[in-house]
Amino acid sequence: MILGVASGGALGSLLRFGVGRLLPAAPTTIPWGTLGINVVGSFALGLLAGASLARPDASPALRAFLGVGLLGGFTTFSTFSVETITLAQSTSLAKAGLYVVLSVALAVLAAGVGFSLTRS
């Protein structure tokens, strides 16, 4: 299971790095790449969580690979936090606040939609 989490984390981190390279953020704009990564990752984790409840016999190793490893490596709360501080210092508190509200609201909504899709 440890190797699964480690390999999933490596893959998720590489995916995040690739998306970040495609959608680089300037310190004065909303970091759309990180926002998108966290929303997509939250949706996927919602799907996984819902599917795991529906299928308790699913492989714990696969759930760890996908949830803790792949999606844990892909999403990034620490980058979101630093980007928020950077926005607040380089642009405005309003833009930083908008980024926080968008990130939290959209990520929670995406997780809820993903979870709901497996429960119907």
DSSP secondary structure, 35-98, as one string:
HHHHHHHHHHHHHHHHHHHH-TTS-HHHHIIIIIIIIHHH--HHHHHHHHHHHHHHT-HHHHHH
pLDDT at 55: 85
User: What are the tens digits of pLDDT across the range 2-51?
Assistant: 999 999 999 999 999 999 888 877 777 899 999 999 999 999 999 999 99
Average pLDDT of the segment spanning 98-116? 97
Q: To the nearest whole percent, how much of the chain has pLDDT over 70?
A: 99
Token readout for 49 is: 């969580």
pTM of the entire structure?
0.91
Assign 57 a pLDDT band (cuts: 50, 70, 90). Answer: confident
User: To the nearest whole number, what is the mean pLDDT of the chain?
Assistant: 93
